[in-house]
């Protein structure tokens, strides 16, 4: 059983490496790889940046599917790992429970935003490969938060492991284990919520632009919150969110670092193209806005 668990962890780490490497390479203007960058851009572009009539595209509103997968899968993992930790008194699993709670908060908000905040244009498209990458991410990211205990939890849920199942005594059984989490879990949680709140605000700003564009022009420059400093603050906030998860884990799990590397590589790549688009589209676009991090132009 331990070999199966290590095999799953290794699979997850290799999957993140293979998914991150080509995007990380494309972020740098290396000589002789212009064709590779162009090909990857054709896959990564979406919405206002994507100008393609290819049959290999799907409506951008299919983003909704990512969060359906994220909510369902994260909820299944959270309930399973939480039940395993409570009923078997496995206290070292509670950190994974905490990470899954944070992930649940994230995917639930994104699910809500996909319905009530964003109003995608009927013509907005994304490449089907980019769509599959999104499904891949929301399937693998929650599993990465608890992969070290996944096989034990699976055995517990399937009933193959003969374990005692004591009942729940009172509501404090749900609270007390979290009070024993290490200090870095709460610092990471605070970082996560910092990014979470700013991403919510930035998404609300972006969602409001559709109404304004119907009165003014097709696209307008967003202002407010972190948009005053960077071109893609919702991407910056996403990096802060997953960085918070790494801090909350204690930083000892390579799987979470590889998850963060995937997030950073993809969002930096997307942010570079977004800023290029804005600067070409608007002559009055603020030149002091960084790409995604302060002082990174």
Q: What is the pLDDT of residues 46-88, one digit of tens each?
A: 655 555 556 778 887 888 899 999 999 999 999 999 988 887 7
Of 297, 295, 291, nearest to 236 by C-alpha is 291
Separation of alpha carbons 29 and 32, rounded Å: 9
Helix axis angle for 183-215 and 94-116, nearest 10°, is: 10
- Cβ–Cβ under 8 Å, residues 103 and 145: yes
Return the pLDDT at 173.
Answer: 63
How do residues 151-201 score in pLDDT, each as one tens digit? 888 888 887 555 555 455 556 666 777 888 999 999 999 999 999 999 999
* Nearest by Cα to 244 from 197, 205, 295: 197
Neighbours of 27 (CB within 10 A): 16
pLDDT at 210: 64
Query: Phi, psi at residue 44, to the nearest 5°?
Result: -80, -25
Q: Across residues 145-154, what is the average pLDDT?
A: 87
Region of residue 47 (left: phi > 0; alpha: psi -120 to 50; beta: else): left
Which tokens belong to 70? 């994220």
pLDDT per residue as tens digits for the range 251-263: 989 999 999 999 9
Residue 13 pLDDT exceeds 80: yes
């Amino acid at each position: 059983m331990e070999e199966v668990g290590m095999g799953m962890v290794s699979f997850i780490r290799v999957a993140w490496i293979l998914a991150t490497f080509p995007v990380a390479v494309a972020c740098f203007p290396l000589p002789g790889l212009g064709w590779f960058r162009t090909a990857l851009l054709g896959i990564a572009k979406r919405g206002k940046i994507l100008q393609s009539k290819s049959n290999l595209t799907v409506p951008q509103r299919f983003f909704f599917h990512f969060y359906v997968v994220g909510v369902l899968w994260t909820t299944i993992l959270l309930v399973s790992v939480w039940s395993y930790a409570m009923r078997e008194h496995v206290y070292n699993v509670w950190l994974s429970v905490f990470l899954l709670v944070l992930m649940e908060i994230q995917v639930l908000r994104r699910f809500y935003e996909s319905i009530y905040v964003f109003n995608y244009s009927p013509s907005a498209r994304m490449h089907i490969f980019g769509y599959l990458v999104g499904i891949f991410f929301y399937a693998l990211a929650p599993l990465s938060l608890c992969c070290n205990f996944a096989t034990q939890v699976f055995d517990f849920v399937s009933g193959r492991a003969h374990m005692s199942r004591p009942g729940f005594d009172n509501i404090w059984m749900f609270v007390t284990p979290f009070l024993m989490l290490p200090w870095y879990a709460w610092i990471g949680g605070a970082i996560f919520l910092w990014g979470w709140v700013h991403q919510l605000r930035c998404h609300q700003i972006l969602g409001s632009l559709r109404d304004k564009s119907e009165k003014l022009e097709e696209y307008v420059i967003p202002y407010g919150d972190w948009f005053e400093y960077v071109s893609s603050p919702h991407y910056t906030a996403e990096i802060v969110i997953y960085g918070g998860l790494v801090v909350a884990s204690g930083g000892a799990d390579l799987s979470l670092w590889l998850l963060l590397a995937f997030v950073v590589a993809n969002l930096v790549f997307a942010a570079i193209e977004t800023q290029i688009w804005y600067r070409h589209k608007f002559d009055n676009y603020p030149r002091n806005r960084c790409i995604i991090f302060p002082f990174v132009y």
